[in-house]
Chain A
Amino acid sequence: MTGPQVEVLLQTLISGLLLGGLYALIGIGMTLIMGVMKIINLAHGELMMVGMYIAYGLFTFFHIDPYLSVIIAAPLLFILGVLLQKYLINPVMKVDSILPENQVILTVGIGMVLANLATIFFSSDYRSTPVDYATKAWYLSDVWKSSPIELSLSFPWTVSFLFSLVITAGLWFFLTKTDTGKSIRATAQDNDAALLMGVHVEKMRVITFGLGSALVGAAGCLFIPIYYLYPDLGGQFTLIAFVITILGGLGSTVGAIVGGIVLGVFESLTSTYIGMGWAPVGRFMIFVAALIFIPGGITSLFRRKRLGR
């Protein structure tokens, strides 16, 4: 490989990794909800879109930095998630119908309303937050003068990535070190056993949906410095989240991180080497391949090794 080729490849891998870190945050929210509630939330991307509009609004009207708006948007999304779960999703889970996919269709309805409300309030124009650091970047040649190749690290991408790492670490701490976190994991693994331990399972479901929404809302705030915003962007991210969960294995947080990164890198490679417009196709090729070849997701490969005696 020639120098410039290596440069392109490395640059592609770096962008892929950064993107993947953000994807992981989106995927974790969905996988948590899927694990605990055994439903697929097709309004996930729309919740992210709501988070982005909150960050956009805070920036435009109050000049609050998007990264700072995480601490406002995430709690708001938490409340929105709790309300949705309590008053819409939960009642439907108890309804008997011919098609058990009712709850999935319900979340589609929720997503439609959210996207449409955004159109009504903000019109369907593309928006962005023109932060002054948007084009700032670090260059490899700044630190290593005689470097044979040139690589750059975009400032907002890197900061977003780091924030997503911090949030993921915080979540990991919550899930493994606190009783509430453990109760959520317990509910996902065995509903009845959790009840026997005195876990208020219904409450855990509500909290989980809130938490999943807050996570994806936070991801929205991290995306806004680097991405355009428009009301219909949600659907695309719902699918991304779903592809990640399939890739990583349903309900597995570690899987979601791995899945997110794999997807980010793969998409980045597709857009560099095949063309920008094809990135979504690459995304779904991975998805289809995962469905056919590793039905349990990437984590199932590890697990088989660990449990296989």
Chain B
Amino acid sequence: MTPLLEVKGVSRFFGGLAALSDVTFQLYKGEILGLIGPNGAGKTTLFNVINGFYPPSKGEIFFRQQKISDMQPHRICKLGMARTFQVVKPLQRMTVLDNVIVSAYLRTGSREKAEKTAVETLHFTGLFEDRYVVSKGLPLGRRKRLEMARALATGPTMILLDESFAGLNPTELNESIGIIRKIKESGITIMIIEHHMKVIMAISDRIVVLNYGQKIADGTPEQTRNNPLVVEAYLGDAQNG
């Protein structure tokens, strides 16, 4: 089976410092891949490289058998890869509905069709009630979900979620987990950065762990949890203590 996404030996330097070094992994259709690692491990940088904001300094990335590591973000999105941002970037002065319509226009030129897709997506993500709210005034939980809705409305085959759960209260958290399961059921492949260990362990099929820009583990949640390298990366070694 050919992978949907293939990251091959990707490195990214900033002013001589390696934010990512030689990261390689694959992602198969229908999977949920969790990406974890301590603060500053390079997770968001990896997303930015995959999604085309930064070209990799070394290495290549293939998506649906096409090389995307030299493409601009909008082309990668058109190919079917959507993303959300850790720091939410709603189109502030637009309503929730208009935000999603913008995304839906990617696959159509007609206002009716775009609005139809947008309304469906809003129902799917439970934001329909808020459709006429200007997104600036939306509480954080809803804004995070709006990010997801926007990504979904572009009609992706794969979606990158960057900390879509951070700062949510328990109710919102459960709702969002439900939405992610639903996204998976609809056949969309998911890659997700998350700090809520409980959540990531529960929903991921496979987990990739980054530390200092390097991949230190790649396996099932069970394997990851018992991997001494991962434990050390998270809790730190206490030899000095």
Q: How far is the CB of B51 from chain A (nearest CB, A)?
A: 22
Q: How far is the CB of A109 from chain B (nearest CB, A)?
A: 24
**Size of the chain A interface, CB-CB below 8 angstroms:** 4
Asked whether, in the complex, the Cβ of A98 is within 8 Å of the Cβ of B16, the reply is: no
Check: B113 CB closer than 8 A to any chain A CB: no
Bound complex: CA A309 to CA B13 (Å) = 11
B93 in complex: contacting residue of A98, A307, A308, CB < 8 Å: A98
Q: How far is the CB of B223 from chain A (nearest CB, A)?
A: 36
Q: Which residues of B contact A308 (CB under 8 A)?
A: 15-16
Asked whether, in the complex, the Cβ of B93 is within 8 Å of the Cβ of A309, the reply is: no
Bound complex: CA A308 to CA B16 (Å) = 6
Q: How far is the CB of B142 from chain A (nearest CB, A)?
A: 21
Size bin of chain B's contact surface: under 10
- Which chain B residues numbered 1 to 52 have a C-beta less than 8 Å away from chain A? 15-16
Q: How far is the CB of B186 from chain A (nearest CB, A)?
A: 37
- Which chain A residues numbered 280 to 309 have a C-beta less than 8 Å away from chain B? 307-309
Q: How far is the CB of B190 from chain A (nearest CB, A)?
A: 35
Q: Which residues of B contact A309 (CB under 8 A)?
A: 16
Q: Which residues of A contact B15 (CB under 8 A)?
A: 307-308
Q: Which residues of A contact B16 (CB under 8 A)?
A: 307-309
- Which chain A residues numbered 207 to 263 have a C-beta less than 8 Å away from chain B? none
Q: Which residues of A contact B93 (CB under 8 A)?
A: 98
Task: Kindly supply a per-residue 1/0 record for chain A positions 85-99, scoring 1 wherever the CB is within 8 Å of any chain B CB and 0 otherwise.
Answer: 000000000000010
Q: Which residue of B lies closest to A98 (CB)?
A: B93
Q: How far is the CB of A242 from chain B (nearest CB, A)?
A: 27
Q: How far is the CB of A108 from chain B (nearest CB, A)?
A: 24
Chain A positions within 8 Å of B, measured between CB atoms, are: 98, 307-309
- What are 6 A-B pairs at a CB distance below 8 A? A98-B93, A307-B15, A307-B16, A308-B15, A308-B16, A309-B16
